[in-house]
Amino acid sequence: MKRALLMLLAAAIVGTGATPTDAEAATKKKAVAKKAVAANKKVQRSAKQARVKQTFGVKSAHRGLSLDDARHLALQSSGVLVQDQTTGAILFEKNPDVVLPIASITKLMTAMVVLDAKPDLSETLVIGEEDVDILKGTRSRLKVGTHLAREEMLRLALMSSENRAAAALSRHYPGGREAFVAAMNQKAQALGLADTRFQDPTGLTAANVSSPRDLAKMVDAAHQYPLIREYSTTSEGEFSIAGRPQHFRNTNTLVKSPTWEIGLSKTGYISEAGKCLVMQAWLNNKPTIIVLLDSWGKMTRIGDANRIKRWVESASLGRPSAG
């Protein structure tokens, strides 16, 4: 009887084409593959980041900043550049030449091109259907038909990163939006921004790209415009939209911080770009440009900015940095 049962069991195993050893091996193989996929997702958030070499190149002799301290900053942004605005000395850099989407950092160039045309800032502009975002489907409190002065549109684009305001500004440019985007790229060339390209005035397209090194130049150029400095650092404001007061806030919470003295600011975000932030700020009573591209996590770009601030302030005093 026992022999018959064993023969039946063997036949069943042969019939399935598997052995207990084969089944165990298959299960183990699947488990290993699953772990490998999970590990890969953790290391590579996207194909774009996989192509970015995470390297540090720090030049800090001009401020006496410590290279060892800089390596402990543990910044989460993929592309970083910190520069002394007065001397041009690079205080810290991480992938300074990597070309990445810049999202709404674009609006700094938008503002410069608008102001270069010397338009009537009091002229009333109207939000049209052409200004509605059909690429990302982002929302806006500026309904189609909203009337605002060009100056208010510019303030909203810089302070609150209002996409429809930026789109309307470009559409009311001499020659229309196509001429406006051409002027953006011409301005980039004039500033020597070799890695920078624009296809729209809002930054909603991932085709708007630049590098940290280029953006430091762009921030320095934008800082020469008093209205860009004022509007980009205004913490909040009230606007009359369709006859009703609407409150808007700055997308960079640091402009309200008593520990920061910020002379220019712009945030940016689309999924392809991650969280971005550029600023001109005074650190140790010196004007400093900070560029942070492709941060991930809601507060990471703010955290990176604060880590940089602590590092510059502590390293210049000869104390260990609080990375």
Which residues are designated catalytic? 104, 107, 161
C-alpha distances out from residue 295 to 59, 100, 164, 264, Å? 22, 12, 25, 19
Instruction: With CA atoms as reference, report the closest residue to 113 among 222, 215, 203, 10.
Output: 222
What six digits make up the tokens of 159?
A: 């302070």
- Contact, 100 vs 48, CB < 8 A? yes
Q: Residue 289: enclosing H or E segment and its boundaries? A: strand 286-295
If one counts every other C-beta atom within 10 angstroms of the C-beta of residue 234, the result is 17
In a 3-state reduction of DSSP, which class is residue 100?
strand
What six digits make up the tokens of 86?
A: 């007065």
Instruction: With CA atoms as reference, report the closest residue to 123 among 155, 156, 150, 146.
Output: 150
In a 3-state reduction of DSSP, which class is residue 74?
coil
- Contact, 83 vs 90, CB < 8 A? yes
Please, what is the angle between helix 163-171 and helix 176-190, to 10°? Answer: 100
